[in-house]
Amino acid sequence: MSMINYASREINCKLVYYGPGLGGKTTNLEHVYGKVNPDARGKMVSLATETERTLFFDFLPVDLGTIRGFKTRFHLYTVPGQVYYNASRKLILKGVDGIVFVADSQVERMEANVESMQNLYDNMSEYGYDLTKIPFAVQYNKRDLPNAAPVADLEAQLNPGWPIDDPSRQSPEPDPYNDGRMLREQVDGEWIARAPYFESVALTGEGVFDTLRAVAKMVLKTLS
């Protein structure tokens, strides 16, 4: 999880962009990298083979404040999209502080989205991490395409909610990012929670920083 550098007075946090191949993870990172102040970011590193690619870089946001006098530096990573590179995916998840699942909104990519989401849950579980208890957001990318599935269909498959067993958390919580939607609510007598979601067109940058800011703020909340 987050690491403290006392010399530089920084808390280092790791955010991982997960999802199916060609869904927009790399495009998200490239857009963020291109917009961040060059003085506040590190070098973007690409670890590539003939068939897989991992990107990562770090940056120090200027608008998120400090935690107990420490600045927060975020390290952003992508994972290889293909499930058969699971060893690489699992390694990148180690020590994660927050996750963005980038789903491909195209109807024909639904099966790949579901497979990747299940793979994320499985890998987190192997580390003993509970995905329902760490900062987590879902981004529905490629919303500009004519074959984009309705958000309701994507939600039903990828973000239907999980049971809330802790009585202290069994209370309504509205979604601050989507009007009329609840992050926590009672459905058929059972309390459930969902991850916040964002619609995006990563190629143009639409929704990219909205997603990043939301997860970054969730991470900061866990540290404060």
Domain boundaries, the chain: 3-159+195-223, 162-194
**Backbone dihedral angles phi then psi of residue 213, each to the nearest 5 degrees:** -60, -40
The one-letter code for the residue type at 2 is S
pLDDT at res. 25: 95
Model pLDDT, residue 47 = 79
* pLDDT value at residue 84: 63
CA dihedral 162, 102, 67, 57 (to 10 degrees): 150
pLDDT at res. 95 = 94
Measuring CA to CA, which residue among 94, 85, 97 is closest to residue 13? 97
Cβ proximity of 13 and 72 under 8 Å: yes
Residue, of 82 and 196, whose pLDDT is higher? 196
d(CA 18, CA 89) in angstroms, rounded, equals: 8
- What is the pLDDT, as a whole number, of residue 23? 95
What's the average model confidence in pLDDT over 133-150? 97
- In percent, the amount of the chain with pLDDT more than 90 equals 75
**Mean pLDDT computed over 209-213:** 96
pLDDT value of residue 13? 95
Backbone φ/ψ region at 15: left (φ over 0), alpha (ψ -120 to 50), beta: beta
Measured CA to CA, the distance from residue 80 to residue 55 in angstroms comes to 9
pLDDT tops 90 at residue 138: yes
Q: Which amino acid is at 18?
A: Y
Task: Please tell me the predicted confidence (pLDDT) of residue 55.
Answer: 87
Does position 62 have pLDDT exceeding 70, yes or no?
no
* pTM score: 0.94
Number of residues written out for the chain: 224
Axis-axis angle for helices 110-126, 86-93 (nearest 10): 50
Identify the CATH number of the domain defined by range 3-159+195-223. Answer: 3.40.50.300
124 pLDDT higher than 80: yes
Residue the block writes with tokens 């074959």: 147
Mean pLDDT of the chain: 92
Residues near 39 by beta carbon (within 8 Å), at least 6 away in sequence: none
SS (H, E, C) 1-69: CCEEECCCCEEEEEEEEECCCCCCHHHHHHHHHHHCCHHHECCCEEEECCCCEEEEEEECCCCCCCECC
For residue 50, the model assigns a pLDDT of: 64
Structure tokens at 121: 């849950």
SS (H, E, C) 66-93: CECCEEEEEEEEECCCCHHHHHHHHHHH
Query: Could you tell me which residue, 151 or 53, shows the higher pLDDT?
Result: 151
pLDDT of 216 > 90? The answer is yes
Question: Do residues 52 and 80 make contact, with C-beta atoms less than 8 angstroms apart?
Answer: yes
